[in-house]
Amino acid sequence: MNENATAISTSLRARLLRWLLLPGFLLTFGLLAKNYLTVSEMANRIQDRLLVALAVTISEHAINSGGDLLSRDIELLLEQFTRENTYYRVQGPDGAFVTGDFGLPRLPEGVTLEPGVPHFYNAHYRNEDVRAVTMKYLVANPSSNIYGWVIIDVSQTRRERDNLIYDELLGSTTDFLVLMFLGGVFAWIGVSRGLAPLRRLQQAIRRRSTDDLRPIRHAMPKEVTEVVKSLNALLARLESSITANQRFIADASHQLRTPLATVQAEAEWALRNASNPEDRQALERIVDQTRQTARLASQLLNLARVSPEGRKAVRYEKTDLLALAASVTSGMVRQAIRHDIDLGFDDQSEGMNCQIETGNEVLLQEMLSNLIDNAIVYGTPGTIVTVRLIGGGVAVGPVLEVEDNGPGIPKEDRKAVLERFVRLDEQNGQGCGLGLAIVREVADAHRARLTLEDGKDGKGLKVRIEFPL
């Protein structure tokens, strides 16, 4: 199906041109052929009339002169005016007298001559194609001694006639070629212009990001509006199904959180009271797993909240990044100490702008704590983690950085780790690969630019989030 779709899309212009140009070519050839037939028939008819006139004149002359040939002067005159070679033969009654060329082509066999009716045919004489006429008519001339049926043959070469046809055909072919060329050019322009709205539609669709599911509102020609309508209907269905999905995930993770918290509390209580080492081990595992599952549930909820569909419900307000970053960092110091990590805060705002107009505190806290959590969890004991806030100026917004000198993320993996459920080291940590996906979504929701870079001296990881002005 896919293959089909691309085949049609690539050949739309070709198809239109084919359907315009192919009939054009056929039509042209048809017209040329018809033109050839008309011209040659006309030329034949003219030559035939001339032949009859010649036949009558020549035979009259022969009879009146008692069988003389045409004089050389008259023959030259004839040649000059008709530009053809003319041959003739006159036979008296019962073939009694003959003048002219004896070897001239004869009437094809099986043809009976009617008196006074000329018979025309094509023949070959002296290595040339000739047009010939044979006529029979009654002579009763009192001044001569001839009485009876005279048969006259006249043949004429066809050079001038062929020239005429050739010239005419050459002329009309050139005309048609020019016409075809112009037709092709206009067809090309027409097709391009006709397809322009489709190209606009394609660009409009291509410009869309995955979270922009608003209907397409470009003005389109009638033939395409139905397609656009269906597309818009599809977009609407897609949007509502995505929204429903988001709501489902949010509801499900929300529903999970309460029982998980209960299990965790119960397990912790049991752990405190257990004395048997085996029981303690089992209970520790339960507490651990429940904590991890609770984190997953809360991350899923967060993800549903920051995803494009969920974002609409989130309120944005003026947010102070300095206060937020400082409080999240200090809130995680204890966790850092437990892992033997040196977590510090580097305030580089120096009284510059640290506020963003449209921020959501909860989402930003989640983002930052995911980044610090990663640096702590994936860092080895002794790793230094720095949360840095750089104040914004006239042209740039504030920048938030989380830098560590831990193992870092290889360059080729930096794109992949931003995807959901992607983890590089399955053994390490307790996450499920949602942390950086959330970071990305939160950055997107704030129209901030997220980059993953090397840390200081090319060691570790530096995550940089540049907020807009």
Four-point Cα dihedral 119, 122, 125, 127, nearest 10:
170
Q: Kindly identify the residues of this chain, within the stretch 305-324, that bind Mg ion according to CB under 5 A.
A: none
In angstroms, what is the minimal distance from the CB of 283 to ligand ADP?
A: 24
Binding mask 361-400 for ligand ADP (x = CB under 6 A): ---------x---xx--x----------------------
Reported as half-sphere exposure (CB side, CA atoms, 13 A), residue 135 has a value of 22
Q: Exposure pattern of 53-72 as b/e (b: 16+ CB <10 Å)?
A: ebbebbbebbbeeebebbee
**Contact status: 461 vs ligand ADP (CB under 6 A):** yes
374 lines the binding site for Mg ion (CB under 5 A):
yes
Q: Is 219 helix (H, G, I), strand (E, B) or coil?
A: coil
Burial classification of residue 233, based on how many CB atoms lie within 10 Å of its CB (0-12 exposed, 13-18 middle, 19 or more buried): exposed
State which H helix or E strand residue 91 sits in.
strand 86-91
| Interface positions, 53-112, toward ligand ADP (CB under 6 A) | none
The tokens describing 169, both together, are 């055909």
- Rounded least distance, CB 425 to ligand ADP, Å: 5
**What whole-number distance in Å separates Cα of residue 362 and Cα of residue 380?**
29
* Count of residues that bind ligand ADP according to CB under 6 A: 23
Q: How far is the CB of 418 from ligand ADP (least distance, A)?
A: 8
Residue 300 sits at φ, ψ, to 5 deg, of -60, -40
The amino acid at 277:
P
Using Cβ positions, the residue closest to ligand ADP within the complex turns out to be 431
Closest by Cα among 384, 322, 385 to 348: 322
Told to check if 408 binds Mg ion by CB under 5 A, we report no
From the list 119, 293, 424, 466, which residue makes contact with ligand ADP (rule: CB under 6 A)? Answer: 424
Residue 429 interacts with ligand ADP (CB under 6 A): yes or no: yes
Out of 408, 435, 455, 460, which residue is the one contacting Mg ion (CB under 5 A)?
A: 435
Long-range CB contacts for residues 13-18, cutoff 8 Å, separation at least 24: 13/191, 13/192, 13/195, 16/187, 16/191, 16/194, 16/195, 17/187, 17/188, 17/191
Task: Indicate whether 417 belongs to the interface with ligand ADP (CB under 6 A).
Answer: yes
- CB-wise, 285 or 415, nearer to ligand ADP? 415
> Residue 429 Cβ, how far from ligand ADP at the closest point, in Å?
5
**378 contacts which partner out of ligand ADP, Mg ion, none, CB within 5 to 8 A by kind?**
ligand ADP
User: Residue 466 is inside which H or E element, if any?
Assistant: strand 461-466
**Would you put residue 461 in left (φ > 0), alpha (ψ -120 to 50) or beta?**
beta
Judged by CB under 5 A, does residue 406 bind Mg ion?
Answer: no
Q: Which residue has the tokens 């960092």?
A: 329
> 391 or 431, CB closer to ligand ADP?
431
Structural tokens at position 363? 């989402």
Out of 5, 425, 427, 457, point to the residue binding ligand ADP (CB under 6 A).
425
Q: Which does 407 bind (CB under 5 to 8 A by kind): Mg ion, ligand ADP, none?
A: ligand ADP
Residues 315-354: x where in contact with ligand ADP by CB under 6 A, - otherwise, as a string: ----------------------------------------
Q: Is 404 in the site for ligand ADP (CB under 6 A)?
A: yes
Of these, 342, 433, 453, 459, which contacts ligand ADP (CB under 6 A)? Answer: 433
Q: Which does 375 bind (CB under 5 to 8 A by kind): ligand ADP, Mg ion, none?
A: ligand ADP
